[in-house]
A and B are shown apart, each in its own frame.
Chain A
Amino acid sequence: MTSPTVSLRSVAVRKPGSLILRSVDLDLAPGSATALFGANGSGKTTLLRVVATLLRPSSGSGVVLGADLGTAAVDGVRRRIGLVGHEPALYPNLTLGENLELAASIALGRPATAEAQDALQQVGLAGAADRRASRSSNGMRRRIEFARLLILAPDLLLLDEAHVGLDPEAWLLVGHLIEEVTGRGGSALIVAHEEERIRPLVDGAVTLGDGVITGHQE
């Protein structure tokens, strides 16, 4: 039996004055895409940050891509995790192309101009590479983040409402990314509100409420 890409057990996250996650158990199977639903403030983003190895759980245990959370082993798997969060991860005064090149060259360990140009082409932004991120539309900034994921080819894809406000063409990109990752045997976890829209892209869904998983759907 193949071990899950992500496996969390009794994960809790406390912040001063509040308990964001109480006890979360979650498994993401290789080759699967899962939607994560939940009301505002239910802890979806916090859970995604735990899975992304960016936030250490206050208690509980977890394994992401074979690395135990809270250990130095997560350093070795971070490059295999692709995250697009609420806020664009872009330097505002760099151009879209420069932002992409920076992320790609750090991740690939060498200058990545050719890869960046190719990815810009794929997301339909070849003509907007010289536009500053701060002067670009939300949709363009999202596409650049998707372009980054195309270059990095992650084994674990995490999207935190990254599809909000996207035009139909960009929406196809989201589907393409999910297919690519799951097709390689990776997993995807997509935080969403619009159940009907996201359903065709995923294999299952979990619902988070009051800091625990309250529902599973296949």
Chain B
Amino acid sequence: MNLRNQIATLMRYELRDELRGGEVGFVVLPFGVVALLTIPMAIGIDTPLLQRIGPGIYWSIILLFGVLVTQRHSSLAPPATRDMLRLAGADPVARFAATTLATFLLLLAFEVGAGFATMALYDPALDSWWWLAALLPLTAAGLSMIGTIAGNIASGLEARTSLVPLIVVPIAVPLLLGAAQATEGLRVGAGILRWLLLLAIVDTVLAVAGVLTARSLEESAA
């Protein structure tokens, strides 16, 4: 089986496992929306203020709840499945790509769902909102790659469920700052191309790092 087929096969089964578990759809997304709801409840109906802080709140929620999505593969699948796939001959790079792509799709769905909630609750009045079609995937890609790399680093460790967020959050902060700045640019009508370029560069670096470290991280896993 070539690399592309391995990626497709592994991603298909990973997504199926996740979707049936329902963690993202029934746990992470509803709680993310509840978190978005608590801010207007605490502040009150101050529309200009909510419009101003809406994008920042949205990206904070994406970061914090997105971590839960990214670490799903290190907590949901038992460590023994990792051994099974290694012995079956699954290429570490294919596994990195498959997990990243599965996480990317889940994160993108989470971003879109939380995005609708943000529109309804904060009315951020974005100018040129179609730029979100580039911004959301770029951010989801970066976050999913960070999550997969962190999952590989923490794999086999007893403290992996608490270690993954500790690795993901600091590394993802610059990514989320870029996304927040780009969204603010859309709100005030400023150009966001440089922020998109920054996100694309970060994603490229993460992709190269993920591919180059996939094998050595797997071999060094306990």
Contact = CB atoms under 8 A, between A and B. Distances in A.
A57 interface: no
B1 interface: yes
B87 A82 contact: yes
A87 interface: yes
A81 interface: yes
B194 interface: no
Interface residues of B, number: 27
Nearest to A15: B222
Interface stretch (A33-41, A90-98, A210-218): A90-98
Contacts of B189: none
A93 B102 CA distance: 15
Contact of A106 (B77, B79, B88): B88
Contacts of B88: 78-79, 103, 106-107, 152
B78 interface: yes
A88 B85 CA distance: 13
A85 interface: yes
A106 B10 contact: yes
Interface range for A: 20 to 34
A79 to B, nearest CB: 5
Given A79-B88, A106-B89, 9 more contacts: A56-B219, A87-B79, A89-B81, A92-B77, A105-B9, A106-B6, A107-B89, A109-B1, A132-B20
Interface of A: 15, 52, 54-56, 78-79, 81-83, 85-94, 98, 102-103, 105-110, 132, 148, 152
Closest 4 A/B residue pairs (Cβ): A89-B84, A109-B1, A93-B20, A89-B80
26 contacts: A15-B222, A54-B83, A55-B222, A78-B89, A79-B88, A81-B87, A83-B87, A85-B80, A86-B80, A88-B78, A89-B84, A90-B80, A91-B76, A91-B81, A92-B17, A93-B17, A93-B20, A93-B21, A94-B17, A102-B9, A105-B1, A106-B6, A106-B9, A106-B10, A106-B90, A109-B1
